[in-house]
């Protein structure tokens, strides 16, 4: 077993393009997504926005293999992600930070981050149970990388704490750190600043920008905080009722009449009150 032997990671330059090609998802006849297409350029920050129920989370669940699309294709480089089980997608370098924190609260921050290394390591029951040298070496090598990542997101001093004991903002950062621990080529961030106070949210925005600058990976982001989205995104895709209604740079999207209508309504059927 060569587990944990130091070697080169694929350089960030091989970050592939993510192409979402007319994907539709239906639940019992209700269309959650219809014919949605967009492209995430390597190394870019791409945001998906839209009102509640627009299909943003559905899109994420399709990308990480939790929902099956009824039609369409999702290409990540040469691989088609549709039809792959979640762990296969993870192994292709797609990592996700969850909106409603999905950490193991009883385990320490370090253990939670080590879970992110699952696909990169290979000790099984026997190697860990007997503490064979390969398991020990793996724990050392990957533990060192975990500390780097924890320092990077500013959690270096909290590694030994149970994840459930951290503040909400810190737990959200552990989520991001755990996704980073997968050494992703595409990072899916599901509402990374939801529920955060202004200070935590500024920190997170800086962190996201830093991840892109340092690692050069693609970041796909679902977020309601328009300040964050418009501030850091390269491109924005807008969904409404499962359909794509606009796509472009933050400035283009902000002025798009469809987007304004989706968020504020036309007012035409609201007792004659005019929308702005």
Partner 1 sequence: MSSALTARLRRVRVGTACRIILVLILAVLPLYLDNALLQTGLFSMAAVVGAIGLTILTGAAGQLSLAHAFFLAVGAYSYSYYAGVKDPSGASKAHGLGMPPVLAMILAVATAGVVGLLFSPIAGRLRGIYLGVASLSLVFIGSFIYENARGLTGGFNGRPATEFDLFGFHFGQDNPPLTVLNVVFGRFERLWYLFLALAVLAYIFGVNVLRGRMGRAMQTMRDSEVAAATMGVDIRRTKAGVFALSSMYAGLAGVMVALAFTRVTPDYFILPLSISYLAMVVIGGLGSVGGAALGAVFVTALPTLLSRYSGSLPFVAEPASGGYDAGKISAALFGVAIVFIVIFEPGGLSALGTRITRRFRRSKTEGPATEPKRAMPRSGTVTRTQEDPV
Shortest distance (Å) from residue 177 CB to partner 1: 10
Judge contact between 95 and 184, C-beta under 8 A. Answer: yes
The nearer residue to partner 1, 154 or 267, going by C-beta atoms, is: 154
For the bound state, the minimum distance from the C-beta of residue 54 to partner 1, rounded and expressed in Å, comes to 21
Minimum distance from residue 253 beta carbon to partner 1 (Å): 28
HSE-CB of 116 using CA atoms within 13 angstroms: 30
What's the CA gap between 145 and 116, in Å, rounded?
A: 11
- Smallest distance, partner 1 to C-beta of residue 86, A: 4
Q: Which is nearer to partner 1, 135 or 244 (CB)?
A: 135
Nearer to partner 1, 195 or 275 (CB): 195
Cross-strand bridge partners of residue 31: 26
Give me the phi and psi of 148, to 5 degrees please.
-60, -45
Cα separation, 29 vs 121, in Å, equals 41
The vertex-213 CA angle with 211 and 216, nearest 5°, equals 80
Q: Which is nearer to partner 1, 8 or 52 (CB)?
A: 8
- Give whichever of 70 and 127 is closer to partner 1, judged by the CB atom: 127
Which letter, b or e, does each residue of 68-83 get, where b requires 16 or more Cβ atoms within 10 Å of its Cβ?
Answer: ebbebebbbbeeebbe
Residue 185 CB, shortest distance to partner 1, in Å, is 10
Comparing CB distances to partner 1, the nearer of 30 and 160 is: 160
**Angstrom distance (rounded) from CA 60 to CA 63:** 5
Least Cβ distance, residue 256 to partner 1 (angstroms)? 32
* Residues 159, 146 contacting (CB under 8 angstroms): yes
């Amino acid at each position: 077993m060569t587990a944990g032997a130091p070697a080169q990671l694929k350089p960030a330059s091989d970050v592939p393009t993510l192409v979402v090609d007319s994907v539709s998802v239906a639940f019992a006849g209700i269309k959650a997504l219809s014919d949605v297409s967009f492209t995430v350029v390597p190394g870019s920050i791409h945001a998906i926005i839209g009102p509640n129920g627009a299909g943003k989370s559905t899109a994420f669940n399709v990308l990480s293999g939790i929902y099956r699309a009824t039609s369409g294709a999702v290409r990540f480089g040469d691989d088609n992600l549709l039809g792959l089980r979640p762990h296969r997608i993870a192994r292709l370098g797609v990592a996700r930070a969850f909106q409603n924190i999905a950490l193991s609260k009883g385990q320490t921050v370090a253990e939670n981050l080590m879970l992110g290394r699952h696909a990169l390591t290979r000790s099984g029951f026997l190697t860990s149970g007997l503490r064979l040298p390969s398991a020990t070496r793996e724990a050392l090598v990957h533990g060192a990388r975990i500390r780097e990542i924890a320092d990077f997101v500013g959690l270096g001093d909290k590694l030994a704490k149970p994840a459930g004991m951290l503040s909400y903002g810190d737990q959200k950062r552990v989520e991001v750190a755990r996704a980073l621990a997968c050494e992703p080529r595409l990072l899916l961030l599901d509402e990374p600043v939801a529920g955060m106070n202004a200070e935590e949210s500024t920190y997170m925005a800086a962190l996201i920008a830093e991840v892109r600058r340092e690692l050069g990976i693609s970041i796909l982001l679902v977020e309601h905080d328009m300040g964050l989205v418009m501030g850091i995104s390269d491109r924005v895709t807008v969904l409404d009722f499962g359909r794509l209604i606009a796509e472009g740079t933050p400035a283009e999207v902000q002025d798009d009449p469809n987007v304004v209508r989706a968020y504020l309504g036309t007012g035409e059927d609201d007792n004659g009150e005019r929308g702005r």
